[in-house]
Amino acid sequence: MSGFELESLERTLENHIPGDELAEVKRILFGNSTKKLELPECAVSAASERDFELQGHMFQCATEQLRPPRRIRVGLIQNHTVLPTDSPISAIHSRIAEIVEVASMCDVNIVCFQETWSMPFAFCTREKEPWSEFAESAEDGSTTRFCQELAKKYNMVIVSPILEREGLHGTLWNTAVVISNSGAVLGKSRKNHIPRVGDFNESTYYMEGNTGHKVFQTQFGKIAVNICFGRHHPLNWFMYSMNGAEIIFNPSATVGELRSISKMSSHLVMVKKLTMTLDTSTVQVTWPPLTGSRCPGLSRTRDGLLVVELDLNLNRQISDKWSFKMTGRYAEYAEELAKAVREDFKPNIVKE
């Protein structure tokens, strides 16, 4: 198995499990199935010509009597570094531009790129140079200006995770810039939790975020961005949800066995979150496991665009069914957490 890289979990199942068993296996692993979303032939042809995978899926939602549907389409993009790492940044911009154009053909309203998409993910190399040279302003850097043009051109909200260099002090941050479909910079959200796992000791590259748990009101819904390692912290998800997020993006760059751990962690913390989550480490979309729905992911080895149609009314439908926010004891949690962070904290342990 040395050097073996799995192309796709779904394809492996389809290749090796008999048809009469396959549906039940997928139900156990992925929950209720999503419907295939038919995409325009022009988009399918363009994706093939440009050598990236294109998939479309649709989540089911009950029709309501009093509220009209709130259907939107969301896109997730994964990409290689297309040229050697000493090439101009415009090379990766061009690659993303041709994928975003196909997203527009598919009527995508919000698109999210992978973590620090405009550079090689170098934070496991323990090298500072030349990687810190990719850091740029979140407000008016070349990557943000590039995304503003795309957002306005295609009437699309763009979540653009970059390595940010803050101008006043020169501090580096792992930041997601949210750009409105008008082309304006709506704001930014910095990575709250930094891993210190093996070679992924990213604290030597950038600071823990200081932007809290912002939620961005867009024309297509209220969105938040929980960058990469933040998915392993349940309270991080919880606070985005409490601030009203309807969609939480999880842009990330994860490799090898960490992909499985990341996927499992995300699913566990989503149980009480009741918002939809989009993960760029495995390029998939998951509604809370309580609905039992996860769409198939993209290839683990190719560039790709995943397009998902969803109705945001499903968030409240699930919330009404399970009532977690109604039954949560938040005042009690807050009181106990306030005690737990004190140096004189004493755990409430009963002994014989």
Is 191 an annotated catalytic residue?
A: yes
Backbone phi, psi, residue 174, to 5°: -95, 110
Structure tokens at 333: 């949690």
DSSP state of 109: S
Strand-pairing partners, residue 19, are none
Which of 106, 147, 228, 295 is an active site residue? Answer: 228
CB 55 within 8 Å of CB 77: no
- Which of 301, 311, 256 has its CA nearest to residue 293? 311
- HEC string for 293-349: EECCCCCCCCCEEEEEEEECHHHHHHHHHHCHHHHCCHHHHHHHHHHHCCCCCCCCC
Which of 10, 115, 136, 309 is an active site residue? Answer: 115
Give the 3-state secondary structure of residue 30: helix
Which helix (H) or strand (E) segment holds residue 103: the answer is helix 90-105
C-alpha–C-alpha distance, residues 308 and 35, integer Å: 10
Is 202 an annotated catalytic residue?
A: no
End-to-end CA distance of the chain: 52
Is 153 an annotated catalytic residue?
A: no
Structure tokens at 309: 């149609």
Which of 26, 147, 164, 191 is an active site residue? Answer: 191
Spatial strand order of the sheet with 247-250 comes to 216-218, 221-225, 247-250, 276-279, 284-286
The three-point CA angle 13-39-222 to 5° equals 90
The three-point CA angle 123-129-134 to 5° equals 70
Find where tokens 């998902």 sit: 308
Q: Which amino acids are annotated catalytic? A: 115, 191, 228
